[in-house]
Amino acid sequence: MPRRSSGLAENTSGQFPFGKWFFQNEPLSAHYQKSSCLAISSLSTEHNLCLPAFPKKREEPLVGINRHQCAVEKTVRKAGSHPEHQDSAVTDAAGGHQLCRSEKMALLVALGLLMAAICPAVLCQQECTLGRNTELQEDQNNGTLVDSVTLASINTDFAFSLYKQLALNNPDKNIVFSPFSISFALAVLSLGANSNTLKEILEGLKFNLTETPEADIHRGFGNLLHMLSQPGDQVQLSTGSTMFVEKRLQILAEFKEKARALYQAEASSTDFQKPQEAKNLINDYVSKQTHGKIKDLISDLDDQTVMVLVNYIYFKGKWKTPFDPLDTFDSEFHLDKKRTVTVPMMNIEDLTTPYFRDEELSCSVVELKYTGNASALFILPDEGKMQQLESSLQPETLRRWKDSLRPRMINELYMPKFSISTDYSLENILPQLGIREVFSTQADLSRITGNKVLKVSQVVHKAVLDVAETGTEAAAATGVKIALMSAKLDPFIVSFNRPFLMILSDTHTQSVLFLAKITNPK
């Protein structure tokens, strides 16, 4: 067994810096946060595009915790006699003069998510049901049955498809993202899409439109959101969407009503003529909703941006069986056959937990449960088998792993303690999944404004994942723990000392909340 060191030094600042591991003044716990953004811009035409002003109204405060809030307001109406150009006018609320644009307005979709400390994680206490169940939910309007488990399987298909593209584009790099957040943001966007643009978005999300009508898809997402966002005494999962909309733009009432009713998404009036102030407003909102974990989600705003759709998710919890901080020691993590790094390695002895050895895919699967309705699967491929494992990721693979898990005594389990962050520009990734037209001049987002003057210019996704041990003793890890070394015959040891995957799921809805690949925990 590796020699235990005196532990990790105490951090007295009380901060949990981005991309580093530090002890907090409160007990260490699991945090997962992600943010995503969609930027909508105007399409170019031969004539200037102008937008009509609408009466200035009181700005509503941003709704945050346990809410999906999206703010995407844009209004474009014809201002000329040539419908093929769809000219429109924007009137400055202060001076009454028109602002004309010669390009298609941009919609920015910002997906901000924070996955933080995957140590002890509490989604909710076991006695808290959050009103969840996996039975068929009957739609109150027309009796349509929506199966949340089927929806979770479809979302898992999208998650693995997106993961494979990210892994292909980012070889040998850490990957962290929330398929849950990204799919919800795109689903909200699809409410405003039409024709082939709509078809591409929903099929890119892995829905079969011949089997599932669009209305049922949105009701399914609404049901899932409802199950995940019920209040509880110990709920540590919050997710939300907000549409930040150019204050001189008007969006169709039907779009706003559906976004609010189905996705709890609200619109916030924003002055994009002051890009720095607009950027600060959006970034401050995301930072607040992710408890300071996601900062500077948006680095800049295009001068054609008229709407930003933000979706965030925040998760924090506690392990059902925590690691002891006094047992954390420095150890080697093998990046590949030739390179190693030294990382803080957590460990626990004689742990009985669900385990499965997949001989077909040459990997070991360990499930670590949180004290609430969440669990994390850690998948450790044999040396040199990561690519084989990645290519085999399918919803059926995940289902087979979960069905095959059995309680197993692990004499020694080693897990690196780490904090990693990633950010992606998904407008370059989603077209590889078939979602193309919404980024082009052919985009049809006419169900947002009534005409085809919008396109998506950016989809920004940022995620942070912190994994650590739980407990208040972390700040006191200055002594040396001495333990008797018992003689064990053929001890069963699982050591995550090389690249591995992690899948964090809600156990009631089977939804994949976060998906990560850790290639370098340092």
pLDDT at 389: 98
Q: What is the pLDDT of residue 109?
A: 56
C-alpha distances (whole Å) from 289 to each of 353, 469, 470 are 33, 24, 23
Q: Examine residue 371 and state whether it is found in any structural domain, yes or no.
A: yes
How much helix, strand and coil, in percent to the nearest 5, is found in the chain? Answer: 25, 30, 45
Domain assignment present for 13: no
3-state secondary structure of 104: strand
Given a cut of 50, whether residue 184 has pLDDT beyond it is: yes
Q: What is the pLDDT of residue 190?
A: 95
- Distant-in-sequence, close-in-space partners of 462: CB < 8 Å, separation ≥ 6: 34, 35, 36, 111, 112, 113, 294, 297, 421, 422, 423, 424
DSSP codes, 197-263: HHHHHHHHTT--TTTS-HHHHHHHHHHHHHHHS---TT--EEEEEEEEEETT----HHHHHHHHHHH
User: Does residue 366 form part of some domain?
Assistant: yes
* 171-180, 433-442, 483-492, range with the lowest pLDDT: 483-492
Instruction: Supply the pLDDT for residue 146.
Output: 47
5 in a structural domain: no
Residue with the larger pLDDT of the pair 429 and 21: 429
Rounded mean pLDDT of the chain? 75
Query: Does 421 or 42 have the greater pLDDT score?
Result: 421
Inside any domain, residue 2: no
pLDDT in tens, 416-434: 998 888 888 898 899 999 9
The closest alpha carbon to 74, from 95, 58, 50, belongs to 50
Give the per-residue pLDDT at 100: 40
* Structural domain boundaries, residue 249: 30-518
Residue 299 falls inside a structural domain: yes
Q: Rounded CA gap, 418 and 28, in Å?
A: 12
Q: Considering only 68-77, 127-136, 147-156, 225-234, which range has the smallest mean pLDDT?
A: 127-136
Q: How many domains in the chain?
A: 1
204 within domain boundaries: yes
The answer to whether the beta carbons of residues 187 and 155 sit under 8 Å apart is no
Q: Residue 108 is which amino acid? A: L
- Residue 246 · residue 309 · CB < 8 Å: no
Q: Where are the strands (E) in 360-443, listed by range?
A: 363-369, 374-381, 406-416, 418-425
pLDDT (average), residues 274-283: 92
Residue 345: CA count within 13 A, CB half-sphere: 23
Which of residues 117 and 367 earns the better pLDDT score?
Answer: 367
Read off the pLDDT band of 489 (50, 70, 90): low
Give the pair of three-digit tokens for residue 192: 């405003």
306-337 per-position pLDDT tens digit: 888 888 888 887 888 999 999 999 999 999 99
CB 322, CB 474: distance < 8 Å: no
Angle at 375 between CA 371 and CA 377, to 5 degrees: 145
Mean pLDDT along residues 379-407 = 97
Average pLDDT, stretch 49-75? 38
- The pLDDT value given to residue 86: 40
pLDDT at residue 19, as a whole number = 28
What are the tens digits of pLDDT across the range 192-218?
A: 999 999 999 999 999 999 989 999 999
pLDDT of residue 480: 29
Structure tokens at 136: 């068929």
Distance CA 356, CA 364 (A): 6
Once rounded to an integer, what is the mean pLDDT over residues 6-12? Answer: 37
Does residue 291 surpass a pLDDT of 70? yes
Residue 261's CATH number: 3.30.497.10
In a domain, 20, yes or no: no
Which has more pLDDT, 129 or 109?
Answer: 109
